[in-house]
Amino acid sequence: MRSRYSAFVLQQADYLRATWHVSTRPDTLDFEPDARWLGLEVRRHQVTGPDSAEVEFVARYRLGGKATRLHEKSRFVRQDGRWLYVDGDSM
């Protein structure tokens, strides 16, 4: 989770795509070049099965002078020893 946040901050599309499950991975990623990321708070994580987990987080950023919070519960699966982002629900 933290590495994906860092990849968003650094706009590392290749890393994000490599850590995104193929069943839900978008063809392209669009970054907001003017977004200033301010921090990540992992609020909760829960193992939901031998190869699945959920992470609730809040990511804060500023865009055009407006502070915004992205609050999401994300689902991950482990494949070949690697955790992959599947999808998430906004909260």
User: Distance between CA 17 and CA 84 in Å, rounded?
Assistant: 10
Kindly give, in sequence order, each residue whose CB lies less than 8 Å from that of residue 75, ignoring residues fewer than 6 positions away. 48, 52, 53, 54, 85, 86, 87, 88
Looking up residue 34, the CATH number of its domain turns out to be: 3.10.450.50
User: Distance between CA 11 and CA 51 in Å, rounded?
Assistant: 28
pTM (two decimals): 0.92
5-60 confidence digits (pLDDT tens): 999 999 999 999 999 999 999 999 999 999 999 999 999 999 999 999 999 999 99
List the domain range (segments joined by +) for residue 35. Answer: 2-90
Measuring CA to CA, which residue among 55, 45, 41 is closest to residue 86? 55
**Number of domains forming the structure of the chain:** 1
